[in-house]
A and B are shown apart, each in its own frame.
Chain A
Amino acid sequence: MSLASPALTDSPTARKGRIPTPPAALIAVCALVDLLVLIPIGITLHEALKDGVPHAAHLLASTGSWNLIGNTVEVALIATPLCGILGTVEAWLIERTAIPLKAVWSVLLVAPLTMPLFVTSYTWAHLGPLFQGEPGAIGIIVVSYSPLVFLLVSAALRGLDHALEEVAQSMGSSPLKTFFSVVLPQLWPALLGSMLLVGLDALVEFDAFVALSFQTVSTSIYAQYQTSFSSSGAAVLSISSILCCLILLAGERLLRGNRNYTRLAHGALRPIQLSPSMRTLPIRLGLLIIFAGVGIALPIATLIYWFTSGSSLALNLASLSIQALPASTLTSLMLGVSTAACTVLLAFPVALLITRHPTFLANMMERTVFLAFALPDLVAAIAISSGASTVTPWLYETVPLLIYAYVILYIPLAVVALRTSLGQIEPRLEDVARTLGSTPLGVIRRITIPLARPGIGAAAVLVFAFVLGDLSTTQVLSPPGMTTLGTEFWSNSSTVAFAAAAPFALALALLAGIAAILLMRWFGKRR
């Protein structure tokens, strides 16, 4: 094991020239996944350019969209690094310092991610002007997506060999200097990967920005769509978001350079002895209380306040809502579980390809999956809806079509979670299984899947939580008459009494809490 970067280079598949050629079947499956992801983008581009490129360019220039694009990029540019810093600080506090009740704190830190964004943003919108507009938009992205950085960076931190830090310290490097010179370079792939997800999400975020009345490309696409009922203006605007996405993807690739994703496959790591420093404990606990307070306690407290302090009229409405609760909960659960299953199934081959055969082709195929984040949810949903209504009318307004939309929207999350987990499996174990007579598929069934179980669980829970937190896709694509917790919350929150919306929001928060616990149990496991 080389001292400089044990986690990055010292494995057979990571070593240059040892990349086995990927089997054709795996490539074919991944190509299918890419195709599924590209369909809505293709439809949107077709829509945008059907009147010719000059027309599209004219539309793009005339709608004052530069301002909107500026807003969007600004939020993404400010929020993404903040998420990176916050998530890394959180990961460091949990993984590298002695904190009482660590398991509880990690769940509280992850919970803002699983909490539906439209619920959080709605509570923020009612807290005052400080939480609205651009500061609110940046704030909500930072609070809701920094757990993504926290999750991936702490997983990487757990896999680092602590001995390297000890060596650095023994050579007289201060803890802070050690972090920047030894730890951070090794966390870089995980940090960049998670920040890419955050940046992509920030570019296309819609529900939260509507609630906080902040104008971005996505919200004005919605406005365009509502006012003109012509989707071409909306489609033209979304070209800008596709371009931003491509720039981000290329930027991350450039920054990451030739580093491979963190591999953590080198036997048992010695457990870390954390020195319980009483002097800094109050500061560290204080930070955690602030993070968890803003992230999760604030929205929950607001919801409970709405629920309990409404007028009698509001309470009547609330009791009406409670009657509708079981049906919509069941629908949400059904959608969440089936989407999670489908997404993991499709993301697995992609993650397998990129971790086992990291060729240029594999890289391109994996990057293509991230294009799923190029379109704002609403645009993707509209594209799928219009495509289905003309090409496959039998799928129009059906649950499978809705699940398809969810799958392609959230598949990048699943790929990231699976990739981390698959990267931690020693390739030699799969080799041994081959020599013991297992076919390539047999190896996946008997070795890869059982060992990747934490990542599979985490991917499923992550997708499940995002499906619960989805609003726009559901509204566009759900079969008539179908209600989910999200749509119920939305329709009730737009009426007079928030108390009526609160039961749905609380149910969502409860499910989000369970999801956060499961996520930490699977993904946050100490190996």
Chain B
Amino acid sequence: MSELRCSGLTKAYGSREVISNLDLTVPDGSIVAIVGPSGSGKTTLLRSILGLVAIDRGTIHLGDSELTHGRTRLVPPHRRAIGYVPQEGALFPHHTVLENVGFGLPRKERKDVTRIDHILSIVGLNANYRNRRPHELSGGEQRRVALARALAPSPSCVVLDEPFTGLDASLRQTTRTAVAAALRATHATAVFVTHDQQEAFSLGDYIGILRNGTISQFGQPEDVYREPADPETAQFLGETNILTGTITKNHANTALGKLPILGHLADGPAHILIRPEQLHLHGSARPDDAGMQVHGRILSITFFGAHSLISLAVNGIYPKQILAHHQGHVPWDAGEDVFISLTGRAACFPAPARTPADPEGAIGRTPQQGG
């Protein structure tokens, strides 16, 4: 049983509170991704779990033992048995791979080649790496050795700080797979922090959103993506269209059309979140259930390979741009008009008392007239 629990964690540097009253529970054996923008306190959170920084208030438990109680570090960092994979690996430059991985083992076991080789194989490296020096490894190999080093003493919990930052796309993918496999194989409870949503989605069993020093939302990746707790979280997790509209009978009415909503919200004005992949573009009219035909003018097309991001001007929403994803080849050019239909459900948030909707007249011209 090695569930990691932080409760009421607070840490200030001078007058600036980096972590404020943070609660986080990492279920035993699961991988939790903490995702937050730069400066949101990610590294401080990890360092307090490790005992490398003293917190001001709160408690940290691992399994049945209390590690930190307020300002008191009940267990010093070297007795916590929490593995640590710092940014960029931070391998000991004066040691070989063998010595790096064996560093945390008892003296007798440090030279146990078969054991070290086994740990290396868990992270997907073969025995040939054993005698290399850190500077002879690629960035991805360094991360894997760093993970092997952290896993070697069989910790019940591992924390990883931006484990894939600075790796190129293909290396990132293979390293990510290797790291995920290794963490699963050892059944260690893992917490990793990242500013990259993709990484958090693909690797975490759960993700926690760290904003303003506290976990603003925690849950399974897909749930958090589909039903973000607030518009800011939605925007942080990916491209979004946040529209103003009204809710009637669990349906959201927007200038883009009508969609069933996720969850429940009382009838009335609301902010409605529609992801770009929920928008489908057509060259010809295709009326939706309500018989609406919404069209927009393509402002720009950004090519991303498998998909393209298209920004549109839509009557009633302009000058705010609408973002849509289009899979594969885009048969239109900027300036052309397309029809828009919606799929899926929309997340929505109650709008503040006054409705900040764009007044119709402020646009001055419709996409058809302008451009």
Chain A interface (Cβ < 8 Å from any Cβ of B) = 16-18, 20-21, 267-268, 426, 428-429, 431-440, 442, 446-447, 450-451
Contact = CB atoms under 8 A, between A and B. Distances in A.
Nearest to B43: A12
A429 B95 CA distance: 12
A429 B87 CA distance: 11
A429 B82 CA distance: 15
Nearest to A435: B84
Nearest to A21: B54
A106 B226 CA distance: 64
A429 B78 contact: no
Contact of A432 (B13, B51, B81, B90): B90
Contacts of B104: 435-438
A434 B93 CA distance: 16
Given A432-B86, A436-B103, A451 B78 contact: no
Interface of B: 13-14, 16, 47, 50-54, 76-84, 86-88, 90, 92-94, 103-104, 135, 149-150, 153
A437 B135 contact: no
Given A16-B13, A431-B86, A434-B76, 13 more contacts: A20-B53, A426-B90, A428-B90, A434-B50, A434-B77, A435-B80, A435-B104, A435-B150, A436-B83, A436-B149, A437-B79, A437-B104, A437-B153
A448 to B, nearest CB: 11
Contacts of B54: 20-21
A437 B81 contact: yes
B92 A447 contact: yes
A431 B84 contact: yes
A434 B92 contact: no
Contacts of A431: 47, 50, 52, 77, 84, 86
A16 B14 contact: yes
Contacts of A429: 90, 92-93
A437 B110 CA distance: 13
B78 A434 contact: yes
A59 to B, nearest CB: 50
Contacts of A21: 54
Nearest to A438: B78
Contact of A434 (B13, B14, B52, B88): B52
Given A16-B13, A16-B14, A18-B53, A435 B77 contact: yes
Contacts of A440: 78
A450 B86 contact: no
A428 B54 CA distance: 16
A16 B18 CA distance: 13
Nearest to B86: A428
A16 B86 CA distance: 21
Contacts of B88: 267
A429 B150 CA distance: 13
Contacts of A442: 78
Nearest to B84: A435
B90 A268 contact: no
A222 B88 CA distance: 59
Contacts of A434: 50-52, 76-78
A436 B103 CA distance: 7
A442 B16 CA distance: 34
Contacts of B52: 431, 434-435
A34 B340 CA distance: 78
A435 B67 CA distance: 13
Nearest to A450: B94
Contacts of A268: 135
Contact of B84 (A17, A426, A432, A450): A432
A245 to B, nearest CB: 34
Contacts of A446: 103
27 contacts: A16-B13, A16-B14, A17-B14, A18-B13, A20-B53, A20-B54, A268-B135, A429-B90, A431-B47, A431-B50, A431-B52, A432-B86, A432-B92, A434-B78, A435-B52, A435-B80, A435-B82, A435-B83, A436-B84, A436-B103, A436-B150, A437-B81, A437-B153, A439-B78, A440-B78, A447-B92, A451-B93
